Structure 1
């Protein structure tokens, strides 16, 4: 068990004031007052739902060792150490890194941020590194991984305490590299503060998470904050074709690198063909066939290629391995019914840009006789502004559309669907049906499909649950679609 004196964890923390014993031994860190107890340091964070400062006295009553806070309570317990800081989240992140022996400094840690493509890029880079012979870790929306060991994921980026614990496990397992998604929430909430990255990758920036950030400018600043914090020893690789790509590099101290399908860049690609069996690209003068489909995946592949080369890997070997890799679960994942000759596509597309990318890709690879039937919803307690936009895109770029529930959470799914329906224009109205039950919506889409048609089930991707009124019930789009195909085969 780890046991370290409090003062040794505060080396990188800007302490405003300290009360009580400085040499108290710390055996664990927590953000949850219910986990407080002897040897534990509790970080009182001001969250969006509640303020951890309200629970300091309760935590102290449970015998904890130390409190990290932005405001001291009226009464101080002489047996407890109180550390006053300007930002508890940033302080806890630095402490978590120190507590676990600064594991990020012992890894080649690459962070990938952007609205879309984070999971695919992180997963591909992880697979690539392992094929190159490295022991590598993965931190992603779909799952966390230490070499072959899979650890379920609950957030795109875990909190700083769990994150550093996972990185420490990777180091203990002999990993030399780690690939991780870096969400905008993670930057804003200091989950990645104190980590040392050897490289950062930017994919793109579109409309998302405004329910949390409030404005698009705040969302952009959160993404940019990741690159602003990179050291000069790191590389910052950005998508030159995204209009915000150059913004990410404005204030970074890291080495600035770019990738592009359209113009001059450090790493360039040319799209030769985008077909149902894969992509044909020319990358830095080499023609390669890839198993992934879609222009958006051309960008993902180019970003991963660039990151690997910047890590010092051989370009030819990298491209050879990438050509044989498949995407992450729930990212343009096919489910085929041979009997009905219907192709299902499961995709995590839950933003307007991601949905448009997927539908445009289907248009590029389908035959003229093939219909595109789209099942799509929008999550509850999230950015409502995108709901009519999502429905409008689906109706405009599909032959038929079923609007349905996604994860309604604590909202009325019928109200979400009404907001989506408002985005459907009169000319497209006849294409659109509303089926609130997601399983029945997928069943209805399959029933509408004829031979060789394509059924796109969008929004949830890899998720294996549906969240309704705070309860997560088992629900897997891929499994449900497979079951419906099997039922119709009987």
Structure 2
């Protein structure tokens, strides 16, 4: 493809050389450069792509897209200086793959909690409705029925467009995509054509990356600011930040809520371990999902599906068939009647929601044992808050490792313990090894007790000192409970 066509819509500040040069591929990783490629120099959090321009050229790059031109330029190489190389990469990726997002209906889901559930269940619903459907989520990437492993909540823009192109090639009509604050801030979604955006909620998260909660909120808002007039913007009206998302959007403004007036309103009629009975816009539906937080998720799904053209009664029928997402309030009941729940809750708000859900369905004749940790090299300010929530809403709490990454697990747990109030000290113990912590919970549990294992959900690994070791919470607790039943 010709470079000048790949550069369409990028904010170019200067060009040295010809843009009529043919380009084989685009890359922002100097290790993957081949002869005839365009290398985009990205300023990242860990490294600066500008430091690898010389290496890229030595490997055969014929074009360099960067924010700062190198001092030593190589003859025969085209240099393009842009205002923002991350944004340029996104537009270039879209152009290179023939703007695939224009050839399907792409819906983005953003917010602190609920993104994976909403995107995954919308994929499930539209697939069950008979449509070829795509999914870009934290858990997995689906191109029709073909599954790929996911590595980020929002992949880099080249990966996004590569999968979208694959989707259009096999006739996918709808795609549902998680849109993270990192993805928005790093312009990974620039150049994509969305037909709809969904806002779930906003709570304490990623303040290790964003300088403040206000910045975190405003980054989320940017996604809605950039939606076109032909799109819909569907927001949680019960979240105080919901209306902020709609302030400057050109899209059709829509709301969903349980507590306030909204376009899509629900009432919880029954809430039990077997599911929810909801009344949505005066129509009743029984669903297999559990808890108030899932009532919000289902409302968002209902509103999005109706706005994408499905008939409301058909949407309700399809909602009744939906199965829960891996690692999202996933539970088993052992032979001796111990209920173990695995959930991805890794923010204070998400953990509180899960504990409230359990509180609403428990009888009080059982004890609730919570196993929880916090990730290393991430937002440290939420650690004591997570511990405070867990210790004040559980009968027993076991603090343990999550993904300690390059931090000392004991230090993370010490940070958490600072949030435990004096009256709750005796409820808590620390067991650094996660498997041993889950085993301890199983040993402490009596028949009819509930064990919540929070933080990792669908993840099948534990990252310690840069190495990912196999670890699956559901697999582990299932095995341990079975052993204790023998």
TM-score, normalization by structure 1: 0.98
Name the structure 2 match of 1:487.
483
Residue 61 of structure 2 aligns to a residue whose secondary structure is coil
**Alignment partner of 1:358 is 2:354:** yes
Following superposition of structure 1 onto structure 2, how do residues 248-287 of structure 1 map, counting pairs within 5 Å?
A: 248-287=245-284
Matched-pair contact (CA < 8 Å) for 1:466–1:472: yes
Name the structure 1 match of 2:423.
427
Residue 460 of structure 1 aligns to a residue whose secondary structure is coil
Residue 198 of structure 1 aligns to a residue whose secondary structure is strand
Matched-pair contact (CA < 8 Å) for 1:90–1:193: yes
CA distance in 1, matches of 2:260, 2:345: 27
CA distance in 2, matches of 1:337, 1:113: 35
Matched-pair contact (CA < 8 Å) for 1:123–1:327: no
Matched-pair contact (CA < 8 Å) for 1:137–1:170: yes
Following superposition of structure 1 onto structure 2, how do residues 63-212 of structure 1 map, counting pairs within 5 Å?
A: 63-212=60-209
Matched-pair contact (CA < 8 Å) for 1:399–1:431: yes
Which of the numbers 364, 368, 389 marks the counterpart of 1:393?
389
Q: Deviation of residue 214 (structure 1)? A: 1.7
CA distance in 2, matches of 1:478, 1:440: 14
Name the structure 2 match of 1:381.
377
**Alignment partner of 1:18 is 2:12:** no
Q: Deviation of residue 489 (structure 1)? A: 2.5
Residue 27 of structure 1 aligns to a residue whose secondary structure is coil
CA distance in 2, matches of 1:17, 1:38: 24
**Alignment partner of 1:217 is 2:214:** yes
Which of the numbers 13, 25, 31 marks the counterpart of 1:34?
31
Residue 98 of structure 1 aligns to a residue whose secondary structure is helix
Cα displacement string for residues 171-195 of structure 1 (whole angstroms, at most 9, x for unaligned residues): 1111011000000000000100000
CA distance in 1, matches of 2:223, 2:234: 12
Name the structure 1 match of 2:304.
307
Q: Deviation of residue 428 (structure 1)? A: 0.4
Q: Deviation of residue 37 (structure 1)? A: 2.3
Matched-pair contact (CA < 8 Å) for 1:37–1:65: no
CA distance in 1, matches of 2:133, 2:179: 17
Name the structure 2 match of 1:446.
442
CA distance in 2, matches of 1:335, 1:165: 38
Residue 73 of structure 1 aligns to a residue whose secondary structure is coil
Following superposition of structure 1 onto structure 2, how do residues 458-477 of structure 1 map, counting pairs within 5 Å?
A: 458-477=454-473
Q: Deviation of residue 488 (structure 1)? A: 1.4
5+ long unaligned stretches in structure 2: none
Q: Deviation of residue 407 (structure 1)? A: 0.2
Name the structure 2 match of 1:237.
234
CA distance in 2, matches of 1:317, 1:370: 39
Q: Deviation of residue 10 (structure 1)? A: 1.2
CA distance in 2, matches of 1:56, 1:65: 11
**Alignment partner of 1:49 is 2:31:** no
CA distance in 1, matches of 2:392, 2:333: 25
Which of the numbers 4, 8, 16 marks the counterpart of 1:7?
4
CA distance in 1, matches of 2:377, 2:57: 34
CA distance in 2, matches of 1:12, 1:150: 32
TM-score, normalization by structure 2: 0.99
CA distance in 2, matches of 1:126, 1:484: 33
Aligned residue pairs: how many? 486
5+ long unaligned stretches in structure 1: none
Matched-pair contact (CA < 8 Å) for 1:335–1:481: no
Higher mean alpha-carbon deviation, 41-50 vs 431-440, is at 41-50
Residue 300 of structure 1 aligns to a residue whose secondary structure is helix
Matched-pair contact (CA < 8 Å) for 1:137–1:179: yes
Write out the 4+ residue segments of structure 1 that deviate beyond 3 Å after TM superposition: none
